[in-house]
Amino acid sequence: MSLEISTLSRGSNHSSAVHKSLKDDEIRLAHFFRSGDQLHCELKHVSTSEQPEYHALSYVWGWTSHTDSAASGGMKKIFVNGKRALVTANLANFIDTITQLQSPAPMIWADAVCINQHDVAEKNAQVRRMGDIYKGASHIDIWLGKHDESSRTCIENLNKWHKLVVPFTERYLPNVEELYSASQAWLYEVGVLGRDGYLVDREAWMEFSRFVEMRKYWRRVWTVQEYCMPGADIERTFLCGDTTFTHQCLRDAIFLAKLIMHSDAKDVDFLSRPMGLVMATGNLKMNTSSRHPRYHRCTNGSLLPALTGLRSASTRFWHR
């Protein structure tokens, strides 16, 4: 697997000035902040044995969608511990966004700046610890990139579909068979399907399909591992531009799409494309033994069954 390694400026003297040596149980955490129109990062060494509170960032190193290009700016300047450094445009865009959304921003573990990318021994040691680093986080921030022309509307729909699905699943789970039996009539009742069998708001589902297909996050094995590795009770928040949505919103949108495809709905084959991409990204099994499902482990296979809670598979070994 190849990674786009082009973050901090090359040169051993510069790198040693930014990154001080880590002790065996230490990691670096980043405090991102703004000074005028400049983006800054201060690195702090912490001992994992002291269980520090931090967010872990999951993101694509390079361009985030098919519409990105080198012309949009492959590298951007920030200041790390007061030293000028270059990071990928995608990471800089996240820093720019998080420092506007939250002031002060939380302490964040982001591999490109928190690992000395020019020290092979450190990089190898930290990569071996990445599973524990993500498991130890209090929150996972999933950066999907900047907004495009339809992403705001799509996220509004994700939140709307989440509110629609929650009472339906709470009514029937853990009885999955009963849920599926009732879903056909429910789709008509709540106005997802018209009486003619076609989607009432087909354009909204087309936008959802484009939103998933255009975002490279779903196509990267290591980002999915970052998403899956943390514990069951760790909250995961997606950020797209200055808009956020939860794992639960994505789960319920995928679940609703699955119900639509299993119904007698007409002309919905296009939904298989985004579902197929999400299915390729990992698996988070839902525990349906209680009335309020929760997520309890990362497994090999697909994210779709994890999101809908209908299948499990064997545990995936961490490999970045």
Whether 318 has a pLDDT exceeding 70, the answer reads no
27-80 per-position pLDDT tens digit: 999 999 999 999 999 999 999 999 999 999 999 886 544 444 444 457 899 999
DSSP state of 22: P
What's the pLDDT at 77? 92
User: DSSP 3-state assignment of 120?
Assistant: helix
Residue 200 has pLDDT above 80, yes or no: yes
Greater model confidence, 221 or 178: 178
For residue 198, count other CB atoms closer than 10 A to its CB.
12
Pairing mode, strands 235-240 and 139-145: parallel
Give Cβ neighbours of residue 188 (< 8 Å, ≥ 6 apart).
194, 195
Between CA 162 and CA 23 the distance in angstroms is 44
Hey, what are 274's tokens? 């985004």
DSSP state of 191: T
pLDDT digits (tens, 9 = 90+) for 280-305: 443 443 333 332 333 333 333 334 44
- For residues 229-250, average pLDDT: 86
**What is the pLDDT, as a whole number, of residue 294?**
33
- Residue with the bigger pLDDT between 307 and 137: it is 137
Q: How many CA atoms lie within 13 A of 301 on its CB side?
A: 18
| Token couple for 85 | 């450094």
- Residue of 28, 11, 29, 16 lying closest to 107 (CA atoms): 29
pLDDT band at 196 (very low <50, low <70, confident <90, very high): very high
The reported pLDDT for the residue numbered 232 is 63
Could you tell me the two tokens for 139? 């929150």
| Residues 6 or more apart in contact with residue 18 via CB below 8 angstroms | 8, 43, 80, 81, 83, 85, 116
Q: Answer yes or no: is pLDDT of 9 > 60.
A: no
Looking only at the bridges linking them, the beta strands covering 55-58 and 108-109 are parallel
Task: Tell me which residue of 27, 35, 85 sits closest to 56, measured CA to CA.
Answer: 27
pLDDT of residue 140: 93
